[in-house]
Amino acid sequence: MSLSTEDVARIAKLARIRVTQDEIVAYQSQLNGIFGLIEAMQAVDTAGIEPMSHAQDLFQRLRADEVTEPDRKAAFQAIAPQTENGLYLVPKVIE
Amino acid sequence: MTHATLKSLSASLSEGTVSSLELCQDYLARIQTLNVSLNAFITVDADKTLAEARAADALRAAGQGGLLTGVPIAHKDIFCAEGWLTTCGSKMLSNFVSPYDAHVIEQFKAAGMPCLGKTNMDEFAMGSSNETSFYGPVRNPWDTERVPGGSSGGSAACVAARMAPAATGTDTGGSIRQPAALCGITGLKPTYGVVSRYGMIAFASSLDQGGPMAQTAEDCGLLLNVMAGFDRRDSTSLERPQEDYTRLLGQPLAGLKIGLPREFFGAGLLGDTAKAVEAAIDQFRKMGAETVEVGLPNSGLSVAAYYVLAPAEASSNLSRFDGVRYGYRSSEYRDLTDMYEKTRAEGFGNEVKRRIMIGAYVLSHGYYDAYYIQAQRLRRLIANDFTAAFQQCDVILSPTAPTTAFKLGEKTADPVEMYLSDIYTIAVNLAGLPGMSLPCGFDARGLPIGLQLIGNYFDEARMLGVAHQYQLATDWHIRAPTL
């Protein structure tokens, strides 16, 4: 497998990372190197092996549906880039 | 005093021969002198540290101190600490003063241990040399032209340079053990789920685990007693009875079965490291342990599987850094997407971007089964290898890293070469097992060499006991760089 410059541009778009043409070329060669390492996996026949998503066989713990956290809205909004009237501000999405 | 272990600092504090305030002043003075050249700390705040030291002294004076009350500790800058700048080594969090404490920080505060500062690290814990930090590389105290390892490089370097008696670290693929080895200190990654990840900035959630870094195994045991414990705010935190991780320190090694994985003693192992590890094995035999060859046949693919799984999880975890609720935001943008893309392009460094992109790719439509699921299947095979090996032995021994500390810039051009620094440590994270590194010698240049011990699930106490017995018979862990 080898990633094209178009592939790299598409991945960067998926990852919401702006890249310049020069960066695309650099990432293409670095990512292809890394995928060269990863491709070694394909040599192993893993048919019938249960995928292991986690280090332990965990199940999700449940808790009673009650309020446990204090209201820290002011402290959390104080570190935001931009807020107004208790809301986080971002550029307009819908005209 | 700054060269003492936690254990002896604890004794001095309880005898009253030193106060926490004096101790913290000594360490802060040493940090001020040495950090200029080593860059082990991102943030130091003497006023905060000294206020905590005074509070610790007051607790002791009131007879309410615990074993470690007043002993200072440095925290990796991945742990959110209320009121402290918490950067995770990234420009993205260069303005993030945490509004809350990580569980680990809460635990150390409750134990009365003052925070000496926040240690430098690879950006978002992605790196094996500390060179990906936005705040500049940490330098190895044994040779400042060389790297300290990573990602907990600042923590390892500050303990090695005796700028702190102990530090916290995190380990996703070797980030406690590899820098511990390269800096000549002792570090432990617990069984996955033993230490809460709440407030520990996430890299790859199914692999990340916090742990202690200190001069000795005994100190690591004392620290793990503080760090470990159930926390309902981490859904993977395990509900287990509290245990004393130092309870087996005195256990003799007679009859202990040490497994030596043949795959870790192959061609990749170079001269001085191979010799030092062989000498350590002889030492263990002399102390009554038996060795048995074991096989970890799928371990050779652990790096490949890891570089699918860890980036996949990272791409999801790091999607939260969007410039909306906290952290860096680009100054100019046209619309929302433009803001996201510029914020992330400017806020993340290259290694982080590479890993996010790998993750986005392996999780994307059409590639998910070939990469992500295949890597998860390999992860199962790798974990099964350990289960089989532990049928034949009590602990597994190997080198921690294939080489000693390498030069700054030596491996930055080729990400793949850097990734291979973790060939002996990554499989342990994939399986979720506990592992540790302890000093076992020096190479011809005088650089420290680390020995890795891998334990069965929840066998930290025995592993620490084995390491402690070794440290009673050797003095590698006592040696400190001349600075």
CATH number of the CATH domain containing B469: 3.90.1300.10
Q: Are residues B351 and B239 in the same domain?
A: no
Q: Give the residue from B401, B389, B403 showing the smallest Cα distance to B455.
A: B389
**Residue B268: pLDDT above 80?**
no
Position of tokens 């943008």? B333
Please give the model's pTM, rounded to 2 decimal places. 0.97
In this structure, are B11 and B74 located in the same domain? Answer: yes
In angstroms, the separation between the Cα of residue A65 and the nearest Cα of chain B is 14
pLDDT at residue B320 is higher than 90: yes
B310 shares a domain with B228: no
The CATH number that applies at residue A25 is: 1.10.20
Is residue B368 helix, strand or coil? helix
Q: How far is A87 from chain B (nearest CA, A)?
A: 10
B382 within domain boundaries: no
Residue B234 sits in the same domain as residue B322: no
**Going by C-beta distance under 8 Å and a sequence separation of 6 or more, which residues neighbour residue B319?**
A16
Residues B248, B307 share a domain: no
Q: Assess if residue A12 is contained within a domain.
A: yes
Rounded to whole angstroms, the Cα distance separating A16 from B336 reads 11
Q: Do B324 and A88 touch (CB under 8 A)?
A: yes
Last residue of a domain, one of B321, B347, B377: B377
pLDDT for B202 equals: 98
User: In this structure, how many other beta carbons lie within 10 angstroms of the beta carbon of residue B279?
Assistant: 14
CB contacts, 8 Å: B371 with chain A: 38, 41
pLDDT(B292) > 80: yes
Q: How many domains does chain B have?
A: 2
3-state secondary structure of B47: helix
Q: Are residues B248 and B331 in the same domain?
A: no
Could you tell me if residue A68 is inside a domain?
no
Is B235 close to A41, i.e. CB distance below 8 A? no
Q: Do A93 and B301 touch (CB under 8 A)?
A: no
Which pLDDT band, with edges at 50, 70 and 90, does A16 fall under? very high
What share of chain A in percent tops pLDDT 90?
A: 78
Q: Are residues B337 and B248 in the same domain?
A: no
Of A11, A17, A51, the CB nearest to B377: A51
Structural domain contains residue A94? no
HSE of A1 in the Cβ direction (CA atoms, 13 Å)?
19
Residue B74 — φ and ψ, nearest 5°? -100, 145
Contact call for A79 and B96, based on CB within 8 A: yes
CA atoms of B267 and B293, how far apart (whole Å): 16
Listed in sequence order, the residues at least 6 apart from B236 whose beta carbon sits closer than 8 Å to its beta carbon are A54, A56, A58, B192, B193, B197, B205
Which residues have a Cβ under 8 Å from the Cβ of B13 and sit 6 or more positions away? B19, B20, B23, B60, B65, B69, B70, B71
pLDDT digits (tens, 9 = 90+) for B90-101: 999 999 999 999
For the stretch B244-265, pLDDT in tens is 999 999 999 999 999 999 999 9
Task: Give the model's pLDDT for residue A54.
Answer: 86
Residue-averaged pLDDT of chain B: 97
- Inspect the interface and report whether the beta carbons of A14 and B329 lie closer than 8 Å: no
Query: Contact A14/B193, CB-based, under 8 Å?
Result: no
Q: Which domain holds residue A28?
A: 5-43
Looking at the structure, tell me whether residues B107 and B217 fall in a common domain. yes
Q: Which of B370, B419, B432 sits opposite A55 (nearest CB)?
A: B432
- What is the distance in angstroms between the Cα of B11 and the nearest Cα belonging to chain A? 38
CA gap B97, B322 in Å, rounded? 17
For residue A14, the chain B residues in CB contact (below 8 A) are 360-361, 364
Last residue of a domain, one of B321, B348, B377: B377
- Give residue B312's domain range: 300-377
Q: Are B337 and B243 in a shared domain? A: no
Q: In degrees rounded to 5, what are phi and psi of residue A76?
A: -75, -35
CB–CB of B426/B433 below 8 Å?
Answer: no
Which residue in the block uniquely carries the two structure tokens 């009350």? B69
Closest CA to B82 of A38, A9, A87, A72: A72
CA dihedral A90, A91, A93, A95 (to 10 degrees): 130
Q: Do B431 and A76 touch (CB under 8 A)?
A: no
Within this chain, do residues B38 and B124 fall inside the same structural domain, yes or no? Answer: yes
* Domain finish residue from B326, B359, B377: B377
Number of domains in chain A: 1
Query: Has the ipTM of the complex gone over 0.85?
Result: yes
Q: Is B109 a catalytic residue?
A: no
What CA–CA distance (Å, rounded) separates A16 from A65?
36
Q: How many CB pairs under 8 A join A and B?
A: 164
pLDDT recorded at residue B1: 81
Q: Strands B186-189 and B209-214: what pairing?
A: antiparallel
User: Any catalytic annotation for residue B151?
Assistant: yes
């607790």: which residue's tokens?
B59
B50-62 pLDDT, tens digit per residue, is 999 999 999 999 9
Q: How far apart are CA B344 and CA B347, in angstroms?
A: 5
What percent of chain B is predicted at pLDDT more than 70? 100
Catalytic residue among B19, B98, B151, B437: B151
Which of A41, A56, A57, A88 should be substituted to probe chain B, the one whose Cβ sees the most B Cβ atoms within 10 Å?
Answer: A41
- Nearest partner of B270 among B449, B475, B397, B454, judged by Cα: B449
